Amino acid sequence: MKIAILLTGHLRDFQTTWHQWKRLAERHEADFFMHLWDNKGDRTDLRPGEITPELGAYANVTLNQDKIDISQLVEMGIKRENIVLEDYNEVKTRENFEDKCDIIGGFFRQYSQDPPRTMLGVFSQYYKRLKGIEFILAQEQKYDLVLLSRPDFFLGRFDMVPESRIYRTNLPVIPELDLNSYNENKLYITLLDEHDGYNDFYLIGNPELLKIRKY
């Protein structure tokens, strides 16, 4: 079974998590892809106590706008042709932005004091996931299974999480995965009690099934 690992969105915390993603890819002889926004996206003013159930996580934070140096990713061992960067400042120009934000906003207004920021974040997440899967499908190499996740997630090692992030409401630690144990004809979606519906920890399935979850 040919496997691809695809990380999408902002690159936050990747210096810390990369060695775990690299180990997962090597263990499965998987190809590694990234479909990223061009700014690093770290939440620069996040402090303990700012996250509440009423506001939702990260309702009032600022994103780091420093640009990604793609040469650093290449030096880490990621193939340049497997990386896509897009301008985050242009996210509002993407297709269906206003229509999708109308739908997103109807749900998130009850959780956030800043619905436009929340809608932007949710839209950009779904947009990146769709474009990442299309990127995988466009490859000459065809993949039986894709793990779709985010650069800032930790794989099963709570002790590797920086202390600055332990207070987070939804700590992004996902279990170590044996990708060979998954059925390529099924779509696996993570569910957690603290999320409404499915969350964005990871999705697993063949790329055609993953593309069904359009933004």
* pLDDT tens digits, one per residue of 83-113: 999 998 887 777 666 666 665 555 555 554 5
- Structural domain includes residue 25: yes
Q: Structural domain of residue 199, as residue ranges?
A: 3-44+65-93+123-212
Residue 15 lies in a domain: yes
What pTM, to 2 d.p., does this model score?
Answer: 0.78
Considering the domain boundaries, does residue 71 fall inside one?
Answer: yes
Residue 178 resides in a domain: yes
Query: How far is Cα 153 from Cα 16, in angstroms, rounded to an integer?
Result: 9
Residue 158 lies in a domain: yes
Taking the alpha carbons at both ends of the chain, their separation in whole angstroms is 27
| Residue 114 within a domain | no
User: What is the chain's length?
Assistant: 215
Place of tokens 């993953």: 210
Specify the pairing of strand 188-191 against strand 198-205. antiparallel
Edge-first strand listing for the sheet containing 3-9: 83-86, 31-37, 3-9, 145-149, 198-205, 188-191
Q: Is 78 among the domain residues?
A: yes
159-204 pLDDT tens trace: 554 554 444 444 455 667 889 999 988 888 776 544 444 456 788 9
97-108 and 115-137 helices cross at what angle (nearest 10)? Answer: 130
Per DSSP bridges, beta strands 145-149 and 188-191 are unpaired
Domain assignment of residue 22, yes or no: yes
Number of domains in the chain: 1
Q: Scan for tokens 């297709």, then name that residue.
A: 95
Instruction: Note the pLDDT tens digit of each residue in 105-152.
Output: 555 555 545 444 566 777 788 888 889 999 999 999 999 999 999 898
